[in-house]
Amino acid sequence: EAGFILYPTSYPETGCVTLMKAMSAGALPITSRYQDSTLPELTKTFDLGPQTPLSLDDEVAWKDTYVNSVIDSVAKAFRGDPTIAAKKELMIATSRERFAWRGVARLWADNF
């Protein structure tokens, strides 16, 4: 029932099952878009976090931008902004296809 999943990480991970499950269940991601991780590829256009990815060189200033992204997204959802609902609906359908075994198997078959 959560509307969002907050994921401000600076960890260079190669995947995040928690994020995949949350997106498939309808929680819109608000991430750090950390470029040394899989986040930008994983969340694609569904990420409501700051457009400027987290930079460890300017982490303190970036945190304010992140908090503002969270506040803005929650306020839009609270007001019933139709762009939030539309993004969520498309994300659920896309994620359930993309992260399900059949989607992964098709991707592997096409690329390997």
pLDDT score, position 1: 62
Looking up tokens 């990815």 gives: 53
- 11: three-class secondary structure by DSSP: coil
Closest CA to 26 of 95, 76, 110, 74: 95
More confident residue, 111 or 1: 111
Residues 37-73 as b or e (16 or more Cβ within 10 Å = b): bebeebbeebbbbbeebbeeeeeeebeeebeebbeeb
pLDDT in tens, 60-103: 889 999 999 999 999 999 999 999 999 999 999 999 999 999 88
Question: What is the predicted pLDDT for the residue at 61?
Answer: 86
Q: pTM higher than 0.85, yes or no?
A: yes
What does the pLDDT average to over 37-48?
A: 94
Q: For residue 15, is pLDDT > 90?
A: no
Average pLDDT, the chain: 92
